[in-house]
């Protein structure tokens, strides 16, 4: 069984046992959370599509850790102006493990 979830403004295709990084969530490491913004739930030919979310569906996850991604360089240059700006950015993330999908 798989599901498409929405969290942090992004969509992810998840299955049971999958570990993935999502935008930072406000919960401690080791906590269990339920994600309820489920856009689609499917198993083989049986697919439920939400409008916009599937009623009564949820994905149970465990928070493994919090961290920061690799640095992304943001460079802006204005030509012929002798002007440039160089910044770095590291995005916070939460690593979660999908434990169960209920439809």
pLDDT for the residue 13: 97
What is the pTM (predicted TM-score) of this model? 0.84
pLDDT band at residue 75 under the 50/70/90 scheme: very high
pLDDT in tens, 4-41: 999 999 999 999 999 999 999 999 999 999 999 999 99
Q: Where are the domains of the chain?
A: 2-102
Per-residue pLDDT reduced to its tens digit, 33-50: 999 999 999 998 999 999
HEC readout, the chain:
CEEEEEECCEEEEEECCCEEEEECCCCCCCCEEEECCEEEEEECCEEEECCCCCCCCEEEEEEEEEEECCCEEEEEEECCCCEEEEEEECCEEEEEEEEEEEC
């Amino acid at each position: 069984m798989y599901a498409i979830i929405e969290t942090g403004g992004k969509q992810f295709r998840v299955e049971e046992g999958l570990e993935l990084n999502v935008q930072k969530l406000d919960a401690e490491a080791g906590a269990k959370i339920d994600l309820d913004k489920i856009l689609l739930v499917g198993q083989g030919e049986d697919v439920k599509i939400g409008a916009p979310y599937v009623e009564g569906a949820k994905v149970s996850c465990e928070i493994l850790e919090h961290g920061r991604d690799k640095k992304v360089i943001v460079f802006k240059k204005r030509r012929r102006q002798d002007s440039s700006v160089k910044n770095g950015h590291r995005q916070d993330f939460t690593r979660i493990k999908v434990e169960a999908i209920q439809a």
